[in-house]
Structure 1
Amino acid sequence: MASTTTNPRPTTTTTTTKEVAKEIPKIIRIYKDGTVEPLPGSPIVPPSLHDPKTGVSSKDITISDNPSISARLYLPKLTQSNNQENQKIPVLVYFHGGGFCKESAFSFLCHRLLNLIVSQANVLAVSVEYRLAPKHPLPAAYEDCWVALQWVASHLASRPINSDPWLINHGDFQKLYIGGDSAGGNIAHNIALRAGVESLSSGVKITGAFISGSYFWGSKPIGSESVAGHEQGNGILLWNIVYPDAPGGIDNPMINPVVAGAPSLAGLGCSKLLVVVTGKDGLRERGVLYYEAVKKSGWKGEVELFEVEDEGTSLTEEHGCRS
């Protein structure tokens, strides 16, 4: 089992004149003095009232001030009816990608993606703005997303601090879903596993989860992954930056859910699971392995694998939320 990195915890920098030691393209740059610089993501855009292409409305809300957790909420154009003001629709809690260290729930790519999902699936979405590494190393993002999910669930029975009328008036908490891509897919898996052990507020249950191109990795290469240089590869390098104190290093169950001694996948706290992979993605085989492991675990839910053969996004091509 790989050991946790012994390097000092990295710090952020905006200096561009230092000598670069290593760079994960489009994600992060590491300098020889040990500082790191997350590379720019897509630009931040404001929420919109009645998006012209989809009719979706969005707004930004604060979930917690300490720690700082916020979200962008999305409401589809509701069907015309006498009870439109109280029409109930499924709720999706979404976790964006970006290697745990870049991108945002407020970015252009994520905003565009959520507008499309919400309009086509007719769901009320909560896109979580969690804290990013290396300024806030993991498990900060996991904790933020759990707090956000609990806040969403609490709308069923009470009016929580910073309650939102969209969730109160339109949220169908019998149909609560979670999902994410890349690092967000990893978060969705870990949140679903935690929900199998810890109860959500008001007795709410997660109906289903989807993980797309999830950032899973491990110390041992699998399938067609290159053996040469695996230990110095981007998957391990990035994990050691975003979670330098992870017990077990790259074989911590949060990044390697199939490692020996990891919590049983039979404990996933949802009844449906969709695993999405792309044919040209460097993370594809990790996703397929995860899907097969869930099937063999004895989990009582319904799991499906969906592959888009001609798409390709990997750690070296990661750009956060996918279009």
Structure 2
Amino acid sequence: MTILLTGGAGFIGSNVAKQLLLENHRVICLDNLDDYYNPDTKWKNVQRTLSDPGYHFHEGDIRDAELVDTLFQTYGFDAVIHLAARAGVRPSVQNPALYFDVNVNGTMTLLQAMQRWNVHKMVFASSSSVYGDSPNVPFDESDTADRPLSPYAASKRAAELVCHTFHHLYGFDIFCLRFFTVFGPYQRPEMAISQFTDSLLNDTAIQVFGDGSTARDYTYVDDIVRGIILSLENLNGYEVLNIGGSDPISLADLIQLIEQAVGQNAQINRLPMQPGDVQQTYANIRKAQQLIGYQPSVRVEEGIRRFVEWYRASQEAGLVTN
């Protein structure tokens, strides 16, 4: 298959690109290398696969309709894996218009190009944040998800609805995957596990928002990649699927795991809860298990051990860019 992979220079996208290439797909990566975090980190991700003859990288924006049309015309895509987005719950509170422009209008640009060029298959990266502080635990895809707590979450839910509209109008096969707190090697530097690990290795205090009781369903990146590939292989109709670890852990316990992996106790600087943050996330993955055969294989304890091992080696080699 020839696949348009948006956001392919990012943490998840670069891992997806690597796996697609291993499975002999042709991967066309579109990424604008934005400055949400250091673009050098994204360029290093691209360089991991740039030498593969099946990989082609284009720097550009998903909102650029002319560029998107050119790519569809040039490569003749069979499917789109749409991971590109403006990321981050807390920053979205400060700049909601940008988040809606990129995450909703950008998705619309891609869907319109698919309609023009007769491409009917998309895997779309949504987020567990759409559930807000749902009282139904674990979170189920049948929940209404109509009470998002941040512009980021609202933009992801809006993009899901746009995807359904194009499924209804044009018969597109689209799976919207609600990812639950992805982590692992090459993850974004502003994420909690990266920051905590870096602080512990450098003997500086970590910033903890709240009392440590918030819980997240951390999902190792290899499991996320597998969920994306399985979705691509089973695309049929419109579906929303939770892709998570289904094993939430509190912030306090997460810090303990990182302390154990690093071999050092943390200095903690406690701060108030931040606007837009939810109390917990927890994925009901039964639907994904039944529909695509998804099953997470890396528990958070093992994932933290692997991440700290990778981070320490990368730091020693001077490869970590914050």
TM-score of the two chains, using structure 2 as the length reference: 0.35
Q: Would you tell me which structure has more helix in proportion to its own residues? A: 2
Q: Would you tell me which structure has more strand in proportion to its own residues? A: 1
